Chain A
Amino acid sequence: MISVWAVEAVVFALVVAALLAERPLPLAATAVTLAAVAVLLWLGPGLRRQLGVIFTRHRRAAWLGGAVFALLLPAALRGSPYWTFVATMALLYVTIGQGLNFQIGTAGVINLAGAAFAGLGGYTVGLLTVGLGVPPLLALLIGPLAAMVVGAILFVPILKTRGHYLALVTIAFGFIFNILMNNLEFTGGPQGIKNIPTLRPFGHVFSGPLRLGDLVLPSHANFYYAALVMAAVVTLGMWRLHNSWLGLALNTLRDDEIAARCSGVNVARQKLVAFSIGNFAIGLGGAFYALMVGFVSPPDFDFGYSLIMLSVIILGGVDSVPGIVLGACLLIPLPERFRFLHEYRLLLYGIVIVLMLLFRPRGLWPASVRRFPLAGASTAPSATSPSDRIVPAKPALESR
């Protein structure tokens, strides 16, 4: 148990150091340490296996430790509001990435308009709060619904297309969204929507500092904690959906549509469900972004961001729920570290995608085989009530 926490503490210290180190000497020291750790993990499969074993054995402790360190991060970063903001962005990309991965990874519905659906969430929040005076918290719930509804309408032409054509339809949608936002009067045109009011649940204003006793955290910490809850809830939800009947049906129709149909899967309906659930999560990320930054404009949701969302999935692992968390937490802060490269740092995304597809196409944390809640021989039988019987008659061939 202690070893689990020790490992997590080391990771935490390294992350904080990597984010905050500014002067050459500490920066170099952190870089060397990180490289050493990476090489150690890369070359020592025994070490990796051992880590895996202790983390599975002390699963609860690992989760507890991880939660504590996630909560401590803003305190460690309090000297630099900027990095708290970047960490919050990473959490938004976890939320968005989970939604997109449910579409692309689990269901095989290629959506290359992630940014547009995030934009739908963001713009809805902007229009509702600024234009109609709807409370921000309510708008945060309506935004993702708007993304879901528009996605469902778009799904009608998508349904008639397959494979690469499907991707093209979504790309087209992404551009149409951007052009519309740039040209429509009521969305503010290229200026976008400014002065979106901030969240203020229970009278606590999110744009002000966060006071915890003697500790004063910058205002970004408010959003960090809210985004942490959101990302955790969405990730848990996606994990459960992936390991449910829905996830199984989606995986099957992704791999073999004919087999799925002949097994009784209504392919069109299940794809629509997956697309809508995914768009909800993506729209939620966009809506949160609008409330955090306080304004939305077309360039915030252009095609480039769709590609960044896609690279999160490719880096983390297609169809891998934990992989998405890893992917977002690596891919979002890393380019910020390389700001001195200016626009060239965007090359990083391209390089990451190419390298991953060449050398590790399943991602850093590949999807594992679906583990349904295991039929523990001792606990199982009594839990079944008659209404839960799968098949009306007695289980097939059970008599033997």
Chain B
Amino acid sequence: MSLLETAELTVRFGGLVAIDSVSLGVDAGETVGLIGPNGSGKTTLFNAITGLYPAAGGEIRFAGERISGLETHAISRRGIARTFQSSRLCLELSTFDNVLIGLHAHVHAGLWRALVERRRFVAEMQAALRVAGHLLETFNPDLARRGFDRARELPQIDRRRVEICRALVSRPQLLLLDEPSAGMNPEETAQLMQDLRVVRDEMPGLAMIVIEHDMYVIEAVSQRVVAFNYGRKIAEGPFASVAATEEVREAYLGRETASSA
């Protein structure tokens, strides 16, 4: 049985069917690349998995339990973390703040410890800072050193890294990456692929779904590729075979007509 399973999942916005009975499975330790033209429902799938959009039909199961219908924060607590296509860092908060919020559901210190029983609160906070610091260091030692600078002061690639750290700091079982290379130049994209390899090496059990338009990234990081078009799954398999599928080529390049020859 797969870690994440969607069964005949359908998402509607009024009359528009954004996701049309998609069945998909992701195993622990697997990286799945999700491709498709703009508007084909890739991000909508992420939003449905994380509970931001309700499912109109079908269901989503995670680690054997049904999660469709749960609230977003409850789904997050079960071990599904994500990043966003356009950065959702809190730019006025520090780098450490942005990473530590990922531990929100895993900390024990409530109001009483924060106000009165300071020793245990401080101990927990320091442990959390160490975890966050180690994680940041694996991507860029500079990030941990400048952890108390505002996130606004970071370059694009580091902001993306901080977002990935925020998602990873609670050691989730499934990571959803929504176009991590968006807005990056080729050099930064190469660094990003290196970063994803680090994640893969360090957290072997982690399942990942990566939405990407950059086919080099998809080819490099994913063991399996799923292609979407108009909210439907049109192909699935190793990169080479999906890329060779007629329907996928049509979705990206358009149909070849007799006159165009």
A residues engaging B (CB < 8 A)?
A: 237, 240-241, 244-246, 248-249, 251-252, 255-256, 258-267, 273, 369-376, 380, 383-385, 387-393, 395-400
Q: Are B77 and A245 within 8 A (Cβ)?
A: no
In the docked arrangement, what's the CA distance between A38 and B76, Å? 51
Contacts A369-B93, A374-B126, A388-B120 supplied; 15 other A-B pairs, CB < 8 Å: A244-B114, A263-B76, A263-B81, A263-B101, A264-B104, A264-B105, A266-B71, A370-B93, A373-B121, A384-B124, A388-B108, A390-B106, A392-B171, A396-B202, A400-B202
Q: Which residues from chain B contact A390 at a C-beta distance below 8 Å?
A: 103, 106-107, 124, 127-128, 131
CB pairs A–B below 8 angstroms (16 shown): A240-B114, A248-B101, A262-B50, A262-B81, A264-B77, A265-B73, A369-B94, A369-B149, A370-B94, A370-B97, A375-B130, A383-B122, A384-B127, A385-B123, A389-B127, A390-B106
Pick from A248, A251, A263 the residue with the most CB of B within 10 Å. A263
If A400-B138, A400-B202 touch, whether A372 touches B125 (CB-CB below 8 Å) is: yes
- A162: shortest Cβ distance to chain B, in Å? 15
Q: Are A251 and B171 within 8 A (Cβ)?
A: no
Q: Are B107 and A245 within 8 A (Cβ)?
A: yes
Residue B43 is within 8 A (CB to CB) of chain A in the complex: no
The contact of A383 among B126, B166, B169, B203, by CB within 8 Å, is B126
- A390: shortest Cβ distance to chain B, in Å? 5
- A170: shortest Cβ distance to chain B, in Å? 24
Q: Which residues from chain A contact B105 at a C-beta distance below 8 Å?
A: 263-265
- B208: shortest Cβ distance to chain A, in Å? 15
Minimum CB distance partner of A249 in chain B: B104
If A255-B90, A390-B131, A397-B134 touch, whether A244 touches B101 (CB-CB below 8 Å) is: no
Minimum CB distance partner of A254 in chain B: B90
Q: Which of B175-219 contact A (CB under 8 A)?
A: 198, 202-203
Q: Are A248 and B115 within 8 A (Cβ)?
A: no
Q: Which residues from chain B contact A267 at a C-beta distance below 8 Å?
A: 73
Q: Are A252 and B90 within 8 A (Cβ)?
A: yes
Residue B252 is within 8 A (CB to CB) of chain A in the complex: no
In the docked arrangement, what's the CA distance between A249 and B103, Å? 10
Q: Are A252 and B101 within 8 A (Cβ)?
A: yes
If A262-B81, A263-B76, A264-B76 touch, whether A396 touches B134 (CB-CB below 8 Å) is: yes
Interface size on B, residues (CB 8 A): 62
The contact of B203 among A255, A265, A392, A396, by CB within 8 Å, is A396
In the docked arrangement, what's the CA distance between A329 and B226, Å? 62
- A396: shortest Cβ distance to chain B, in Å? 5
Q: Are B100 and A248 within 8 A (Cβ)?
A: yes
B residues engaging A (CB < 8 A)?
A: 50, 52, 71-73, 76-77, 81-82, 84, 88-94, 96-97, 100-109, 111, 114-115, 118-131, 133-135, 137-138, 148-150, 166, 168-171, 198, 202-203
Q: Which residues from chain B contact A246 at a C-beta distance below 8 Å?
A: 111, 114
Q: Which residues from chain A contact B114 at a C-beta distance below 8 Å?
A: 240-241, 244-246
In the docked arrangement, what's the CA distance between A248 and B93, Å? 9
Q: Are B94 and A391 within 8 A (Cβ)?
A: no
Q: Which residues from chain B contact A245 at a C-beta distance below 8 Å?
A: 104, 107, 109, 114
Q: Which residues from chain A contact B97 at a C-beta distance below 8 Å?
A: 248, 251-252, 369-370
Q: Are B169 and A256 within 8 A (Cβ)?
A: no
Q: Which residues from chain A contact B131 at a C-beta distance below 8 Å?
A: 390-391, 395-396, 398
The contact of A397 among B126, B138, B149, B170, by CB within 8 Å, is B138
Q: Are B115 and A395 within 8 A (Cβ)?
A: no
Minimum CB distance partner of B206 in chain A: A396
Q: Are B150 and A391 within 8 A (Cβ)?
A: no
Q: Which residues from chain A contact B129 at a C-beta distance below 8 Å?
A: 372, 374-375
- A114: shortest Cβ distance to chain B, in Å? 22
If A373-B126, A396-B169, A397-B138 touch, whether A264 touches B73 (CB-CB below 8 Å) is: yes
Q: Are B148 and A266 within 8 A (Cβ)?
A: no
In the docked arrangement, what's the CA distance between A262 and B124, Å? 22
If A244-B109, A245-B107, A391-B103 touch, whether A399 touches B170 (CB-CB below 8 Å) is: no
In the docked arrangement, what's the CA distance between A272 and B251, Å? 47
In the docked arrangement, what's the CA distance between A258 and B88, Å? 8
In the docked arrangement, what's the CA distance between A263 and B100, Å? 10
Q: Which residues from chain A contact B73 at a C-beta distance below 8 Å?
A: 261, 263-267
Q: Are B115 and A237 within 8 A (Cβ)?
A: yes
If A251-B97, A372-B129 touch, whether A263 touches B124 (CB-CB below 8 Å) is: no
In the docked arrangement, what's the CA distance between A246 and B92, Å? 17
Q: Are B133 and A264 within 8 A (Cβ)?
A: no
Q: Which residues from chain A contact B101 at a C-beta distance below 8 Å?
A: 248-249, 252, 259-260, 263, 265
- A70: shortest Cβ distance to chain B, in Å? 22
In the docked arrangement, what's the CA distance between A396 and B53, Å? 30
Q: Which residues from chain B contact A371 at a C-beta distance below 8 Å?
A: 148
Q: Are A240 and B115 within 8 A (Cβ)?
A: yes
In the docked arrangement, what's the CA distance between A387 and B137, Å? 26
- A397: shortest Cβ distance to chain B, in Å? 4
If A249-B101, A399-B202 touch, whether A259 touches B84 (CB-CB below 8 Å) is: yes
- B257: shortest Cβ distance to chain A, in Å? 42
- A131: shortest Cβ distance to chain B, in Å? 33
